[in-house]
Amino acid sequence: MKNLFLSAAIVLGGLTSFASTSPITNSIVKVVSVSDEYTEIKLEELPAPIVESLKKAYPDAVITKAYKNEKSEYKLDVTVGDKVGNLFANADGTWIKK
């Protein structure tokens, strides 16, 4: 009888150790993009230093759209050959890395 209780205790103890659950953690990743609000402007409204800097740096570049924010920074949608990209510049034609 003692062996029966001992066997039952060992079996039940073994089952409970395998039944323990490990904590499950869910990690949620949020990507927050903080960007300045750019408003579209006409290409004619671009300052001359920006246009000159673009011609100097990228002679084959074509500006498709231009945008301006509150800090007088400009975002240019540019096409060079078959490549399309964005450039950022100050009003004086200095390029900005973003």
Per the domain annotation, does 6 fall within a domain? no
Per-residue model confidence (pLDDT) at position 15: 57
CATH number at residue 70: 3.10.450
pLDDT-flagged residues of the chain (< 70): 1-27, 29-36
Q: Which residue do the tokens 């903080």 mark?
A: 34
Per-residue model confidence (pLDDT) at position 77: 95
Q: What is the mean pLDDT of the chain?
A: 81
The identity of residue 23, as a single letter, is: P
Per the domain annotation, does 59 fall within a domain? yes
Query: Which long-range contacts does 62-69 make (Cβ < 8 Å, 24+ apart)?
Result: 65/40, 66/40, 66/41, 66/42, 67/38, 67/39, 67/40, 67/41, 68/38, 68/39, 68/41, 69/36, 69/37, 69/38, 69/39
Per the domain annotation, does 52 fall within a domain? yes
pTM: 0.61
Per the domain annotation, does 71 fall within a domain? yes
Retrieve residue 38's tokens: 């750019």
Q: Which residue do the tokens 């003692």 mark?
A: 2
Per the domain annotation, does 76 fall within a domain? yes
Per-residue model confidence (pLDDT) at position 33: 52
- Which residues span the domain enclosing 66? 39-96
Number of structural domains the chain divides into: 1
Per-residue model confidence (pLDDT) at position 67: 95
